[in-house]
A = this chain, B = another copy of it.
């Protein structure tokens, strides 16, 4: 068995190296690449991804997994090796069903579509992007069909991001959440609005950058194994547990974007940096799922970064950094301002109370696109109808509506729900953290984040992708992914702020 394991790990190391190279090509593309390099970069990414795929799906890997699965009973089921065999088998069984030609075409089509989407958004012209999106939906249907039979055509897409979850699971979770969240937002809208005008002033970009760096250094971000750059769309990317980088975007006239974006990405990066080195160069050197990943970013962004104890510690230094802008703004006013709830058109600008409604809208449309109940050409109309239902708004133009997100142009259908699931998981974990570290609030109030990071490393980070998301959440919190803690959290937080 040891011989097969070693052979398997050798192949997996090569695959992971190829994937890390792809990741670097993608990072460069978004951060530094000169525009003229785009076409060639698409070809290079296509080649690397195709090579990684074909290296992984060889009959040899299949034979190794067959032998290993026959003997897996002799291993501790929670051991790294047992979980490696299971996760690799799961990924192998999926991967062999996807023809390399599809992978190449998908890479090429999504590279092209991302460029077209950028132009279409700039020109506010959905019809430009429509043929590309139709092609992508078509490719995603082909993709789902590689995994037929399925309960729902959307199942194979969710499974790529949330292993083990089904369309029915997310529909059930969000079905319970949506009416409560819509009701909460309505109740908040009936209260007096809080003031956040002080957030919309001129804030020197370098000072914003430096303040963010100070905060995330205290969070424990390790600059020996990471760096921060600017990009249009902030993201976190891992080239292995020894090199996990973040990007941020800073607006000179609005404080929140850089501030909370930086904390958000750091939550992701701490996860990537906390994975047990024993899992390096294997498929376990990943987060458990995107939702679990998002639970880490949202925790640092919202449960820590938008909390009162956090600002009891950091607000004096923020005031010192921006004395003319914030010197006369009290802590309570500031805290309410950064937690202002106001339905808006743009997901990435949404507050905690409305964010999940943006996601549910997209999730429902994705399911409808996949099952054919909505056609791509009718998407703008379907989008706007739901915006009105959930948030009481209708966009003037598609750039602020259906064209706002990059995801679909990159072929990422099935991805959005992970954002909302991440919110739910972040609060489930937070309730457990509160019970395990009762003075966590005091620690944050003192600018101490070590116990928090230690807890997350021990309970979440170090496991990498060993456990499926539902299993991991169950192990740590005692229940599967559940919206009840989240709605409790929202109600409690906004009762204080809005007096509902």
Contact = CB atoms under 8 A, between A and B. Distances in A.
Given A21-B25, A28-B28, A242 B39 contact: yes
A25 B24 CA distance: 7
A78 to B, nearest CB: 26
Given A25-B24, A41-B243, A243-B41, A224 B17 contact: no
Contacts of A35: 224
Interface string A32-69: 11111101110110111001000000000000000000
Nearest to A245: B34
A90 interface: no
Given A13-B43, A17-B47, A28-B28, A36 B242 contact: yes
Interface in A220-241: 222-227, 229, 239-240
B32 A239 contact: no
Contact of A222 (B18, B36, B46): B36
A20 interface: yes
A22 to B, nearest CB: 8
A284 to B, nearest CB: 16
A28 to B, nearest CB: 6
Contacts of A226: 34
A17 B43 contact: yes
A14 interface: yes
Given A21-B24, A36-B224, 14 more contacts: A13-B47, A17-B43, A17-B48, A18-B48, A21-B22, A21-B44, A24-B28, A34-B224, A36-B243, A37-B225, A39-B242, A40-B240, A40-B242, A40-B280
Contacts of A44: 17, 20-21, 239-240
A281 interface: yes
Given A17-B47, A28-B28, A44-B20, A37 B239 contact: yes
Given A17-B48, A43-B281, A34 B223 contact: yes
Contacts of A227: 32, 34
10 contacts: A13-B43, A14-B51, A32-B32, A32-B227, A32-B229, A34-B223, A36-B242, A37-B243, A44-B239, A51-B51
A33 B223 CA distance: 10
**Interface band, chain A:** 35 or more
A486 B37 CA distance: 37
B281 A34 contact: no
A282 to B, nearest CB: 13
A92 to B, nearest CB: 20
Contacts of A14: 47, 51
A303 B28 CA distance: 34
Listed residue (A24, A229, A240) with the most chain B CB atoms within 10 angstroms of its CB: A24
Listed residue (A28, A227, A229) with the most chain B CB atoms within 10 angstroms of its CB: A28
Contacts of A18: 47-48, 51
Nearest to A39: B242
Contacts of A245: 34
Contacts of A223: 34
Contacts of A24: 21, 24-25, 28
Interface string A193-236: 00000000000000000000000000000111111010000000
Nearest to A280: B40
A117 to B, nearest CB: 21
Given A14-B47, A17-B44, A25-B21, A33 B281 contact: no
Contact of A37 (B21, B39, B240, B281): B240
A245 to B, nearest CB: 8
A35 B225 CA distance: 7
Listed residue (A37, A222, A245) with the most chain B CB atoms within 10 angstroms of its CB: A37
Contacts of A225: 34, 36-37
Contacts of A39: 242
Contacts of A224: 34-36
Contacts of A20: 40, 44
Interface string A240-283: 10110100000000000000000000000000000000001100
